[in-house]
């Protein structure tokens, strides 16, 4: 049983500190993951908040078919997909909002603290959505292929194949950018 599952169980038993701990442990990673879908940090923060509100108000059952984090990210992803479906109009670009750029940079610095990871993250934004998603889940969030596939609605094998293609595309983009590395 992982820490998130323990915290959720405490929350369901009436201890609000369990939910506070879940938010503390998963908020930043979930926001950055959702930002990959909506390309707007403020909206990603709202969707993460909605994810946690869903836990607090609806108290869905966690069946332990996956890790708690996998389950939580799948809830967030579904909310992001619903948001995109219902909000086809384009949001304000980050270039139009200097405050949003600064806020995103601060959050990225806090979450991705090594220069190499920041460079990879910056180049990842140029990749297709599904490539960004699988790379984020597998390499930044450390989900295995089965867990990432469950979040993305894919099999473990197709997720592994997608990750391979995404790594190749990322490597090509990094080479274009002049990035030097030992092995990717």
pLDDT tens, residue by residue, 116-171 = 666 777 788 899 999 999 998 998 899 999 999 999 999 999 999 999 999 999 98
pTM of the model: 0.69
Query: What residues contact residue 36 under an 8 Å CB cut-off, 6+ apart?
Result: 129, 132, 133, 136
The mean predicted confidence, pLDDT, of the chain is 85
pLDDT at 183: 47
Higher pLDDT, 107 or 60: 60
Could you report the per-residue pLDDT of 104-117, keeping only the tens digit for each? 666 665 655 556 66
Of 64-68, 85-89, 150-154, 177-181, give the range with the top mean pLDDT. Answer: 150-154
Between 17-26, 46-55, 67-76, 110-119, the lowest mean confidence (pLDDT) is in 110-119
- What are the residue ranges spanned by the domains of the chain? 1-97, 112-178
What is the CATH number that goes with domain 1-97? Answer: 1.10.1740.10
The CATH number assigned to the domain with range 112-178 reads 1.10.10.10
Note the pLDDT of residue 117: 64
Residue 63 confidence class, pLDDT cut points 50, 70, 90: confident
DSSP state letters, 132-181: HHHHIIIIIS---HHHHHHHHT--HHHHHHHHHHHHHHHHHHHHHTT---
Using alpha carbons, list the distances in angstroms from residue 61 to 9, 70, 117: 10, 14, 35
Average pLDDT over residues 26-54: 93
pLDDT value of residue 65: 86
């Amino acid at each position: 049983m992982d820490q998130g599952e323990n915290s959720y169980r405490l929350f369901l038993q009436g201890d609000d500190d369990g939910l506070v701990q879940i938010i503390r442990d998963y908020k930043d990673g979930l926001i950055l993951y959702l930002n990959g879908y909506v390309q707007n940090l403020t909206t990603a923060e709202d969707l993460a908040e909605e994810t946690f509100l869903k836990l607090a108000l609806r108290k869905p059952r966690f069946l332990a078919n996956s890790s708690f984090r996998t389950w939580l990210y799948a809830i967030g992803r579904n909310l992001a997909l619903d948001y995109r479906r219902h909000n086809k109009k384009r949001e304000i670009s980050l270039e139009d909002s200097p405050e949003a750029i600064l806020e995103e940079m601060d959050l990225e610095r806090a979450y991705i603290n090594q220069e190499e990871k920041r460079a990879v993250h910056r180049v990842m934004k140029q990749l297709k959505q599904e490539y960004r998603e699988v790379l984020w889940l597998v390499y930044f969030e450390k989900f295995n292929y089965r867990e990432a596939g469950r979040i993305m609605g894919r099999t473990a094998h197709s997720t592994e194949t997608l990750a391979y293609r995404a790594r190749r595309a990322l490597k090509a983009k990094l080479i274009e950018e002049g990035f030097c590395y030992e092995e990717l």
